[in-house]
Structure 1
Amino acid sequence: MAQTKPTTTPSQDIAELSKQIDALKEDISGLSSAFASLASSSRDAAITGAREKAAQARAAGEDQVDAMLRNAEELGQRTSTAIREQPAMAVGLAVGAGFLLGLLLGRR
């Protein structure tokens, strides 16, 4: 059985290879563009997520500071009320705290 081979010339083979190489270049260029777009959108999403987390952390911190300020004000009011109601005990506590502080600092 005789097989018939398509007859192509070397210049035709080179032209065909050149077309395939050009197609590959276009595919690679398209892939590069797609990867660049994906990287850009991933970067933007990461930045947005980080900004949202920072805003949430800041809001939580501000809430904690507000709660601490309210507690400090309440404690100050309770202390003021206790001093008005029992001035002798307040003076005694102040003298005792001063004495202990003096002992601690005097031993240096």
Structure 2
Amino acid sequence: MLTTVSGTPACPDADRQHRLAAQLADMIPGAATIRVSFTDPTQRWPHAHSRAWDAAGEPIELSRTTAKIAARWILRVWPEADWSLAHTLSIASATLTHSTARAASSRGR
């Protein structure tokens, strides 16, 4: 990432995260959340894969290309995340959480 003379990033991470969320909202209309993992049920080997859901929790059908591009973009914006676990991106807040944590919170834990 480019830096300014003071050594701070030219594009703060929060700005990148919000820009990515806006781009994904344009690319996947109606998406509220996107889950990213390295497990594609149609492949035998691990590689970036994503799935999307609308605000009502209904799945949104993604083409293979869109699923792969969305996953790769998210991976690049959050390189420090533990990608051995699945993560969920909230489009509205541009926040990334472990999918297991999200599932536990929705069960009241």
Sort the TM-score into its range (normalised by shorter chain). Answer: under 0.3
Larger radius of gyration: 1
With the length of structure 1 as denominator, give the TM-score of the two structures. 0.21
**When you count strand as a share of all residues, which structure comes out higher?**
2
**When you count helix as a share of all residues, which structure comes out higher?**
1
With the length of structure 2 as denominator, give the TM-score of the two structures. 0.21
Asked which structure has the greater RCO (Cα within 8 Å, sep 6+), the reply is 2
